[in-house]
């Protein structure tokens, strides 16, 4: 309760008008004016890469879901590589820290599996909705044809 009161007092002491006047004064001192800078002048306006295309493609979603399912399981053990002394050192280190990293890898694998299952559900939903849209489009065409024939 005391902390909340101190925080509230600290917030009340902030003078926004004073801060704004200081900012305006700094702008005047540096000689900036409104015509000098616009948002278009600021770097970072380039488009971020979103992949090959921005449009939805069911084939791409299916491919990505399949990929995520295939790579959901991360092995905790990889064969040690290098010369014999290096491999021996790596094996000893692996045995010493196994208790710490195996649970982390197993936890990550569970998370990956849940995400892959979720993606499969999303894909199934998208396909189901796509089928419904196709059925509704056919029904709409039939209704429009019937209306045109009546006229």
Residues 19-44: tens digit of each pLDDT:
788 888 888 887 776 666 555 555 55
Which residue, 123, 135, 78, 127, is CA-closest to 102? Answer: 78
Q: Is 94 contained in some domain?
A: yes
> Would you state the pLDDT for residue 91?
92
- The reported pLDDT for the residue numbered 120 is 94
Residue 125: domain span: 53-150
**101 falls within a domain:** yes
Give the separation between CA 25 and CA 100, rounded to whole angstroms: 56
18 occurs within a structural domain: no
Looking at the 3D structure of the chain, how many domains does it have?
1
| Rounded mean pLDDT, 86-96 | 92
Average pLDDT, the chain: 82
Pair of tokens at residue 115: 């995400």
Q: Quick check: is 97 in a domain?
A: yes
pLDDT at res. 17? 80
Residue 64, domain member (yes or no): yes
Q: For a pLDDT cut of 70, what percent of the chain falls above it?
A: 77
Higher local confidence (pLDDT), 70 or 45: 70
Q: Provide CB contacts within 8 A for 51, sequence distance 6+.
A: 60
- Model confidence, pTM: 0.54
Domain assignment present for residue 31? The answer is no
Asked if residue 109 belongs to a domain, the reply is yes
Specify if 12 maps to a domain. no
In this prediction, residues 51-78 reach a mean pLDDT of: 85
Say if residue 46's pLDDT is above 90: no
Residue with more model confidence, 86 or 3? 86
Examine the pLDDT at 138 and tell me if it is beyond 60: yes
Radius of gyration over every alpha carbon of the chain, rounded to an integer in angstroms: 31
Percent of the chain with pLDDT over 90: 48
H helix intervals, the chain? 2-12, 16-30, 58-70, 84-150
User: pLDDT higher for 37 or 71?
Assistant: 71
């Amino acid at each position: 309760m005391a902390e909340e009161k101190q925080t509230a007092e600290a917030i009340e002491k902030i003078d926004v008008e004073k801060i704004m006047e200081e900012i305006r004064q700094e702008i005047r001192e540096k000689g900036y004016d409104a015509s000098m800078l616009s948002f278009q002048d600021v770097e970072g306006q380039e488009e971020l890469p979103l992949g090959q295309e921005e449009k939805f493609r069911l084939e791409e979603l299916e491919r990505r879901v399949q990929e995520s399912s295939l790579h959901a399981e991360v092995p905790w053990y990889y064969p040690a590589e290098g010369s014999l002394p290096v491999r021996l050192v790596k094996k000893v280190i692996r045995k010493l820290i196994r208790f710490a990293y195996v649970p982390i890898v197993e936890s990550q694998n569970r998370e990956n599996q849940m995400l892959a299952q979720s993606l499969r559900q999303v894909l199934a939903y998208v396909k189901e909705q796509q089928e419904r849209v196709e059925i509704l489009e056919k029904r709409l065409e039939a209704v429009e044809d019937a209306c045109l024939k009546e006229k």
